[in-house]
Structure 1
Amino acid sequence: MDESRLAASLAEAGLKFLGLVDTTVPLIPPTLAGFANSCPAESVADVEYLRSGDPQFLEKANTGWHRLAREGGLFSTVNPEFFLAIDYAQPDEPPAWWWARVSLSDRWDIAGVGAATGILGNGSGHPAFIMLSADGNVIVRAQQGENSTEFVLVREPQRVQFFRQHGEWMAGRPRTGEFVRTSIERWLTATAE
């Protein structure tokens, strides 16, 4: 991964790259946090749905994401730092998803420019990302559907049985890579009650 290119792409979206999070920190891995949109309804704290054809989609998506993230605890107004899932693998390697620490600047555009960079989506107006609060207690997931975009917020993933059970299943699969398996096992052990 070229950190200078990553930092430049994030800066275009209004995010300051603060470095990669140490891979030994027992955080929920992005590959597991990405299933936030599959959580049972009772585990989801908040959801924002937007129709893709809305002429004000970018404005509504950015406003909706910011409200959800701020009010839901992804970051605070005083300290707008959080983690963003990024693929840090080299171009010739299989994907390796982990967390980058970022900070929200005063001027940002997550759904437009951010999604257009490929870091936060699949083109302008097509946001797709996984974010985690710096304390690991809030997940915000954006997913593009056929006719809509969904922002999902889940609090305290360590207490959500869906994540724990799905993590155990993933860790036991032979096709799960060693990095993902170790990350899941580390998180499950660290958050066991």
Structure 2
Amino acid sequence: MQLTQADGPERRVTRLAHAGVQVLRPWPLSDATVTPPDVAWEVFGCDEAAGRVDRTVDNDDPDYVVRGNEAWYSMAREFGLFDADETFLLSVPTGPGDFEDPQWFEVRLAPEWDVFGRGVEEFVLGHGARTPAFVMHSKDGALLLASGWYQFVSSVLVVPRPWTAAALRRSAEDRLAKSGWTDERRTAARQWLALATPTE
């Protein structure tokens, strides 16, 4: 059951619900405290100098889903993904492709959730079994949390204070130098870049 061009945002919301992720509302692009959604996907290019911390799960681990969910949830708790209402932001594509026109949505976990299992298999938090691909953000802008897969392992990673990460700042600057962004996205990106001087 892979995403097709017929799958729009409503279908993705339904698939996220199957994984125990409740979509509450779109998050305004104008919120400049949060990393621009297009830029946030460049988090995989950050390194330890940006404060990146990884936890990995072997792709051939028989308890892969359990261990992946545990790694994700423990890092989310430890590094502050959730707010007082247990909500956070999830990048959801609003175009027909897998990563086209990403937009932040405010979400909350249902009592029964399965990010690394059902979420990945539904092709909304990844590309099928053992291939996670998602980016999340704390609503206060202080933390990016993501997961990706590699040949032998899957990784859950965090980058605190993402506005200071050189790789993310370069991505925002490169995008601003080109056409393609709406005025709203461009304004928010400039304000995000102005939050602080990079530390790496």
TM-score category, normalised to shorter length: 0.7 to 0.9
Q: Distance in 2 between matches of 1:127 and 1:30?
A: 18
Alignment TM-score, normalising by the size of structure 1: 0.86
Query: For 2:102 and 2:10, how far apart are their aligned partners in 1?
Result: 18
Separation in structure 1 between the aligned mates of residue 100 and residue 40 of structure 2, nearest angstrom: 16
The 3-state SS of whatever aligns with 2:13 is helix
Partner of residue 73, structure 2: 66
Inter-partner Cα distance in structure 2 for 1:2 and 1:165: 30
Moved more, 27-36 or 176-185: 176-185
CA distance in 1, matches of 2:113, 2:140: 23
| CA deviation string 1:5-61 (max 9, x = no partner) | 233211111111101112222121222111222212122342111111111111100
Contact 2:54 2:158 in 1 (8 A): yes
- In the other structure, the counterpart of 1:184 is 189
Structure 2 CA distance, aligned partners of 1:30 and 1:149? 22
Kindly indicate whether residue 107 of structure 2 is the aligned counterpart of residue 102 of structure 1: yes
3, 27, 36: which one aligns with 1:21: 27
What code does the residue aligned with 1:114 have?
G
1:47-126 matched pairs, under 5 angstroms: 47-76=54-83, 78-89=84-95, 91=96, 95-126=100-131
One-letter identity of the residue aligned with 2:128: G
Q: Secondary structure at the match of 2:38?
A: helix
**Which stretches in structure 1 are left out of the alignment for 5+ residues?**
none
Match in the other structure for 1:44: 51
Once residues 98 and 148 of structure 1 are traced to their aligned partners in structure 2, the CA distance between those partners, rounded to angstroms, is 27
2:140 paired residue number? 135
Work out the CA distance in 1 between the residues paired with 2:156 and 2:188: 25
The AA in structure 1 aligned to 2:181 is E
The residue identity in structure 2 corresponding to 1:5 is R
The count of residues paired between Structure 1 and Structure 2 equals 187
TM-score by length of 2: 0.84
Q: How far apart, CA to CA, are the structure 2 residues paired with 1:87 and 1:103?
A: 18
What SS class does the counterpart of residue 18 from structure 1 fall into? strand
Gaps of 5+ in 2: 1-6
Partner of 1:7: 13
Contact 2:22–2:109, Cα closer than 8 Å, also in 1: yes
Match of 2:168 in 1: 163
Mapped to 2, the partners of 1:21 and 1:32 lie a distance apart of 15
